[in-house]
Homo-oligomer: A and B are copies of this chain.
Amino acid sequence: MTQPPVKLLVVFYSTYGTNLGMAREAAQAAEAAGAQVRLRRAAETAPQSVVDSQEPWKANLQAMQDIPAATPDDMEWADGFVFSTPTQFGGAASQMRAFIDTLGGLWAAGKLAGKTFSAMTSAQNPNGGQETTLQTLYVTAMHWGAILVPPGYTHQHIFASGGNPYGASVTANGQPLSDEDRHTIRHQVARQVELTRKLLS
């Protein structure tokens, strides 16, 4: 008898494109691992005039218009979540936190509990919040009763891409993701899909 596929939600915020690329990679990896996937972005909350004042931000926002904004319904639908956000002074982008703040109703109804969670991030400096930002997201997921599945050092790829045991993290430099970063993301997500499948069985 076949088990229904794992439902994985990838939620990201991206200012200039790095986390967009990371989230797309995660979504593809989840599908390759047999999951049903929703790729969703945290809605922009900055005033349009601010976005428009920075050409790369504006262009990236336009490039994401086909990706639906994340909703509480997506969270209820999913068996597991992958969150990806740039650091902002060692915390998640406020757009991601704004989405998180809409989840009070689901939480109160107990509908966020028992789902898997892992996180990804990027920063301009190798030690500029790549660890602390992930920790702030895991703390939040603990409030939901999530089952946390950070990658640890469960694959050699992780060492090659900076050795972050808390989740894939990228030093954002305007370049495409490196192969090491892609491999690391794919491993983290495939492992999460597999663990989620076991928890559902």
Contacts and interface: CB of A to CB of B under 8 A. Distances in A.
A107 B140 CA distance: 26
A97 B88 contact: yes
Copies in the complex: 4
A198 B198 CA distance: 6
Given A97-B88, A101-B93, A127-B162, A110 B144 contact: no
B131 A130 contact: yes
A92 interface: yes
Interface residues of A, number: 57
Given A127-B131, A148-B147, A101 B94 contact: yes
A198 B37 CA distance: 23
Nearest to A161: B127
Given A154-B114, A159-B125, A143 B165 contact: yes
Contacts of A114: 154
Given A91-B136, A94-B94, A124-B163, A129 B143 contact: yes
B132 A163 contact: no
A141 to B, nearest CB: 8
A169 interface: yes
A56 interface: no
9 contacts: A88-B97, A91-B139, A110-B153, A125-B159, A129-B139, A132-B139, A145-B152, A147-B149, A198-B201
